[in-house]
Amino acid sequence: MPDGDTTRQGRTLRTPQALRDAGLLRPDAEADATRVATRFAISVTDHVARLIDPADPADPIARQYIPDAAELTTAPHETDDPTADGPFTPVKGVVHRYPDRALLKPLLACPVYCRFCFRREVVGPDGGLLTEAELDTALAWFEATPAVREAVLTGGDPLMLSPRRLGAMLHRLAAIPHIETLRIHTRVPVAEPSRIDAALLAALDVDKPVFLAVHANHAREFAPPATAAALDRLARTGIPLLGQSVLLRGVNDSAEALEALFRAMLRARVKPYYLHALDPAPGTARFAVPDDQGLALLQSLRGRIPGHAIPTFVRELRAGGGKRPVSHG
């Protein structure tokens, strides 16, 4: 694997050595990070690297993306498939958990690889791109399943597809009479915003409503002008923007950090939608925040920020039970 590659916006760092050379990994942490890299993918785009303060050992952006020795330890409650997609997969690339909607995972590559990712066992730069035949089978499943009214594109990150391939997929889904809405989950606006160009916007222009769920966990992710401009372009095309975050220790586990995050989303025209409790993927325990603490944090924001700035706090149930609002006790 090369140390880094060149994206439209600069070099993407993909190995511990590249992170060390960029000053984002302490030399004495490289050996452990190299062991982590044998199991979990690493990617830090140039855009994200510029957001990190290398002088701050507790930098909340670095914590999301820089590998750590703690990832080598799997806690007893952690599991390879915490959302249990497997039993709900009727054909490759599709997850059908709720009657009225289904996920389509056209690829498993992302612009960045998050250290807390719930699909960390399967995402990576080499994996998961459906072949044309597999994609055709997946789309045919949507066409043949009239109960499904929303197609949710996730992965991986669907905005890593070429605009041509993404556009063809969206057009075929939009042409299905029983599909009413399309939703795309993505980290691209905050990780590699240069991808939100005219060709991508044209690909998103289909005859059914497209909602974009923007995944971000810290206010600073919205600070770069390139991210603000990308979200502005999306919003001006009429695409509703929803914010999805994960409550992460050391990243956003304070009222101040959450307030700043949700206010940053609103300024970027992104409606805070879900705050997820951490899914117990292997080696992620250092990010866990107790549910009661999460509830108290959100409660503390009531009256402090507008009601529409407060997302719903949810947890994925084990064994594929789906999302449920977190409640006391």
Contacts to ligand SF4 by CB under 6 A: 110, 113-114, 117, 119, 123, 156-157, 187, 215
CB of 28 to ligand SF4, least distance (A): 26
Q: Which of 111, 108, 99, 160 is closest to 134 using CA atoms?
A: 108
Q: Say if residues 306 and 271 touch (Cβ distance below 8 Å).
A: no
For ligand SF4, give the closer residue by CB, 101 or 119.
Answer: 119
For ligand SF4, give the closer residue by CB, 179 or 248.
Answer: 248
CB of 157 to ligand SF4, least distance (A): 5
| Distance spanning both ends of the chain, measured CA to CA | 47
CB of 285 to ligand SF4, least distance (A): 16
For ligand SF4, give the closer residue by CB, 95 or 176.
Answer: 95
CB of 127 to ligand SF4, least distance (A): 11
For ligand SF4, give the closer residue by CB, 112 or 326.
Answer: 112
For ligand SF4, give the closer residue by CB, 110 or 173.
Answer: 110
Biggest CA-to-CA distance, the chain: 57
In DSSP terms, 150 is beta-bridged to 101, 181
Question: What is the rounded CA–CA span in Å between residue 234 and residue 44?
Answer: 23
C-beta contacts of 254-258 below 8 A and 24+ residues apart: 254/297, 255/297, 255/300, 255/301, 255/304, 257/60, 257/218, 257/219, 258/297, 258/298, 258/301
For ligand SF4, give the closer residue by CB, 172 or 215.
Answer: 215
Q: Which of 65, 79, 1, 12 is closest to 316 using CA atoms?
A: 79
CB of 1 to ligand SF4, least distance (A): 17
Half-sphere exposure of 71 (CA within 13 A, CB side): 27
CB of 302 to ligand SF4, least distance (A): 28
Other C-beta atoms closer than 10 Å to the C-beta of 168 total 15
CB of 117 to ligand SF4, least distance (A): 3
CB of 154 to ligand SF4, least distance (A): 7
Residue with tokens 């054909």: 91
- Local structure of 241: helix, strand or coil: strand
Question: What is the rounded CA–CA span in Å between residue 320 and residue 196?
Answer: 33
For ligand SF4, give the closer residue by CB, 172 or 276.
Answer: 276
Question: What is the rounded CA–CA span in Å between residue 203 and residue 300?
Answer: 41
For ligand SF4, give the closer residue by CB, 123 or 261.
Answer: 123
